[in-house]
């Protein structure tokens, strides 16, 4: 199952993922090391491409929040992938 977000939502989510990666202060390789994603899967999910698996995007979202918190910073809020949406999403596909 693929992400059912609009192009604008995908773009906004990708920007939020990248902003939080920057706030975490780690490289993409370091952030990815905490996941089971290969480079291609990571790239697709970070860009929230139409080919990205939804569960991968959620995995990266959650991983980045942990890393931002560990860096002692305040994360950029996610406006599409909110906690309210998580319950509905977990019915449609397996979240990590």
The answer as to whether 66 is a domain residue is yes
The pLDDT of residue 1 is: 41
For the chain, what is the domain count? 1
The answer as to whether 50 is a domain residue is yes
21 CB-near residues (< 8 Å, 6+ apart): 28, 31, 46, 64, 67
Range of the structural domain that residue 37 is part of = 7-92
pLDDT per residue, tens digit, the chain (96 aa), is: 455 789 999 999 999 999 999 999 999 999 999 899 999 999 999 999 989 999 999 999 999 999 999 999 999 999 999 887 776 665 566 555
The answer as to whether 2 is a domain residue is no
The answer as to whether 16 is a domain residue is yes
Q: Is 43 helix (H, G, I), strand (E, B) or coil?
A: helix
Burial class (CB in 10 A: 0-12, 13-18, 19+), 49: middle
Biggest CA-to-CA distance, the chain: 35
* Rounded CA separation 85/27 (Å): 28
């Amino acid at each position: 199952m693929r992400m059912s977000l609009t192009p604008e939502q995908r773009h906004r989510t990708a920007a939020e993922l990248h902003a939080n990666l920057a706030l975490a202060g780690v490289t993409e390789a370091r952030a990815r090391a905490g996941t089971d994603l290969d480079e291609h899967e990571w790239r697709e999910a970070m860009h929230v491409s139409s080919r990205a698996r939804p569960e991968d995007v959620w995995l990266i979202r959650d991983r980045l929040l942990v890393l931002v918190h560990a860096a002692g910073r305040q994360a950029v809020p996610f406006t599409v992938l909110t906690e309210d949406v998580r319950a509905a999403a977990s019915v449609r596909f397996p979240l990590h």
